[in-house]
Structure 1
Amino acid sequence: MKKHYDVIIVGGGVIGSSIAFHLSKRNYRVLVVEKGALAQKASRAAAGMLGAQNEIGEDSPLLSFARKSRAMFPALAEELQFLSNINIELIQSGIIKVAQSEEEVAHLRAIAAFQEKIGEKVEWLTTKQVKEKEPELSEAVQGGLYMPNDGQVSAPLLSKALAQSAAALGTDFLEYTEVQELIQDNNRISGVRTGTDSFFASNVIVAGGAWSKDIINKTGISLETYPVKGECFSVQTHERMITSSIFSSGGYIVPKSGGRLIIGATEKPHTFDESVQLDGLYQLMAQALNIIPALKNAKWEKAWAGIRPQTGDGLPYLGEHPHVKGLFVATGHYRNGILLAPVTGLLMADMIDGKAVHHPFSINRTPYIKEVNR
């Protein structure tokens, strides 16, 4: 295996694979080092919603970033299909954010007004209109915000397609290999050291999701990130119950092919425990049955959990280390890693190219970064 590359990426999830894909398209020699298997952890666990309008508040700097990323998916799906022969199952049938109280009705109507103002397609549906569009929804739904441009993909297939497409373009992947140390020379990155070998590059990107902090802490700074466990489960139905993804204050229900539904997700911060607990499943089941009573007849499939990387201010860290030249970070996407993967890959590739990139996600922002003793 080669020892010298242009860029080494630490982490082979959807973010790391997207960065590798975009860099390989620009003819960089890239190595991705993943401590487990590719396209696992949070990348495998996600339901795959592309909720640029649904997930991100009107006051968030992420909104324009997310809208740009969502717009990349149709062309990306075709490109990945060509390179990897994988269909990422892009479905643009919209998301309905339902209201279950008068307060939620007022809140969602205000969101609708804002989104119309910025030019997004959005429609407020009355209780009757919601039932006409999705007949299986219960009377507990008092209306809904329909966002036709928000959609979904298969998260595992997207992650796999990005990795395989990057490989087809020349990226090398090293699985089941943990980076033990970042190699530096006079505050300049020069490579990484694993348990058995060393690899060298003038640029290293840490994209290890919730595990990125462990590596970055060894470089003299500490990013304000923490893990959040999200539990989900899936069921099978004989007939397709819903066509749009349904999002509520208590979770989501996402229709997949073959009558499969993914229901999630809990939010349990400050744990790397990937076990699934009954209290979380009970809450998800109760909320799902309240919205779609016919789910009581669905057949159980499986349950799982993923560990998502959250930050102190809810924004990802994307940029170069303040003290180590050539060391970059791309982490903290929390619940939007699938949605933001395309634009993150593009942005990080632009940074490696040396282009002037302006965004509010610098890792040098305060107070969410602090010096630590090495």
Structure 2
Amino acid sequence: MASNAHHDVVVVGNGVVGSSIAFELSRRGARVARIGEPNRKYAASTASGAMLGCFGEVTTALLATEHGRAKLAVDYEARGLWAGWAELLADVAADERALVTSRGTLVMLNSTGSKAVDTGNFQAIESTLRTYDEPYERVDPQDDAWLAPNDLHRSLLGLYIPGERSVDSALLLTKLDAALRNTSGTIVDGRARVLVTQGDRVTGVALDDGTVVGGYTVIVAAGATSLDLLATFEDVARRVPPMVSGYGVSVVVETPDGRVPDSVLRTPNRSFACGLHCVPRADGSLYIGATNIISPDPGSTRC
């Protein structure tokens, strides 16, 4: 069993969250190792539509609680930091390719759906846009030249939000890898099996192959599998909110005429879901996603 204990920080997780944490700590001078399996089958970051917004995700349930409203406030602040952070990432990664792939978001109220959920969440989005004084306009989706809906299921009302955009998730992960390497960070390809302890301290992470990656601090950012790693620390695990895997259906397509919409097209959220959504990609393809179900065990559900 090999041991490598010279890292200041070991980050478990190579999705957008884990990779961003590893990059930020590395660029600030910490000696960082990031652990994660390459090409993970159920990785959320690579499969996501990567809509870069917060208002389009607003629901009546979110606004109904103090914690939900606090989350919205954090999302709004984070969105405002995005442009500067993306510029920094491009500079450190030495990759100037544009991450943003759309010019705004059109939230559409479908003619099929429930009043309580679809209309309620649409109205919640608009009221929140007004509260935050966010630029938007009411539009008729039928004026969009790209849309050609079935006559019985056309959207009759839309909100165009120019500040809600999308990013190329695959390119974002590529840049985060390059930026970590360029700041002398270490990328460890492997699956974390268990946290290694010495007394009451976590001193490293053991991989499936028996390798131990040691560090003075360990950060667990492994999505729904995070609690598995923390299971032996009952006091810590009790204070971590339950996390479950979410499964959706998505495809990346090329349109017959090569045209894609300029903006993200989406419906309001439903239960555990980000609505129907079409997201243009930088390579001219179109990401289409819908539905979301949850499972306590990653990989146990088939859509």
* TM-score normalised over the length of structure 1: 0.66
Asked if structure 2 preserves the Cα contact closer than 8 Å seen for 1:112 and 1:124, the reply is: no
Counterpart in 1 of 2:272? Answer: none
- Structure 1 position 23, deviation (Å): 0.3
Count of residue pairs the alignment pairs up: 273
1:216 equivalenced with 2:230 (yes/no): yes
Asked if structure 1 preserves the Cα contact closer than 8 Å seen for 2:251 and 2:287, the reply is: yes
Secondary structure of residue in 1 paired with 2:103: coil
- Structure 1 position 235, deviation (Å): 1.4
- The CA RMSD measured in Å over matched residues stands at 2.6
Question: Residues 272-291 of structure 1: matches in 2 within 5 Å?
Answer: 272-273=298-299, 277=303
Counterpart in 2 of 1:183? Answer: 196
Q: Per the alignment, do residues 272 and 31 of structure 1 end up closer, same or farther by CA in structure 2, a change over 3 Å counting? A: same
Q: What letter matches 2:107 in structure 1? A: K
Counterpart in 2 of 1:71? Answer: 80
- Structure 1 position 68, deviation (Å): 1.9
Counterpart in 2 of 1:120? Answer: 134
Counterpart in 1 of 2:218? Answer: 204
Asked if structure 2 preserves the Cα contact closer than 8 Å seen for 1:47 and 1:254, the reply is: yes
Secondary structure of residue in 1 paired with 2:291: coil
Output one character per residue of 1:65-92: Cα deviation in whole Å (capped at 9) or x when no partner.
1122222222222222222243252135
Q: Per the alignment, do residues 94 and 10 of structure 1 end up closer, same or farther by CA in structure 2, a change over 3 Å counting? A: same
Partner Cα separation in structure 2 for residue 78 and residue 3 of structure 1: 33
Q: 2:259 aligns with which of 213, 221, 240?
A: 240
Unpaired runs of 5+ in structure 2? 269-274
Unpaired runs of 5+ in structure 1? 278-374
- Structure 1 position 197, deviation (Å): 2.6
Partner Cα separation in structure 2 for residue 183 and residue 105 of structure 1: 50
Quick check: 31-40 or 211-220, which moved more? 31-40
Q: What letter matches 2:201 in structure 1? A: R
Counterpart in 2 of 1:265? Answer: 290
Counterpart in 1 of 2:9? Answer: 7
1:157 equivalenced with 2:171 (yes/no): yes
Partner Cα separation in structure 2 for residue 96 and residue 30 of structure 1: 40
Q: What letter matches 1:261 in structure 2? A: L
Asked if structure 2 preserves the Cα contact closer than 8 Å seen for 1:253 and 1:263, the reply is: yes
Secondary structure of residue in 2 paired with 1:228: strand
Question: Residues 40-55 of structure 1: matches in 2 within 5 Å?
Answer: 41-55=43-57
Asked if structure 2 preserves the Cα contact closer than 8 Å seen for 1:11 and 1:208, the reply is: yes
- Structure 1 position 31, deviation (Å): 0.7
Counterpart in 2 of 1:96? Answer: 106
- Structure 1 position 201, deviation (Å): 1.9
Output one character per residue of 1:109-132: Cα deviation in whole Å (capped at 9) or x when no partner.
45313321222222222x3xx333
Output one character per residue of 1:330-356: Cα deviation in whole Å (capped at 9) or x when no partner.
xxxxxxxxxxxxxxxxxxxxxxxxxxx
Asked if structure 1 preserves the Cα contact closer than 8 Å seen for 2:142 and 2:156, the reply is: no
Counterpart in 2 of 1:80? Answer: 89
Q: Per the alignment, do residues 149 and 155 of structure 1 end up closer, same or farther by CA in structure 2, a change over 3 Å counting? A: same
Q: Per the alignment, do residues 179 and 107 of structure 1 end up closer, same or farther by CA in structure 2, a change over 3 Å counting? A: closer
1:32 equivalenced with 2:34 (yes/no): yes
Q: Per the alignment, do residues 76 and 134 of structure 1 end up closer, same or farther by CA in structure 2, a change over 3 Å counting? A: farther
Secondary structure of residue in 1 paired with 2:90: helix
Output one character per residue of 1:271-295: Cα deviation in whole Å (capped at 9) or x when no partner.
5338864xxxxxxxxxxxxxxxxxx
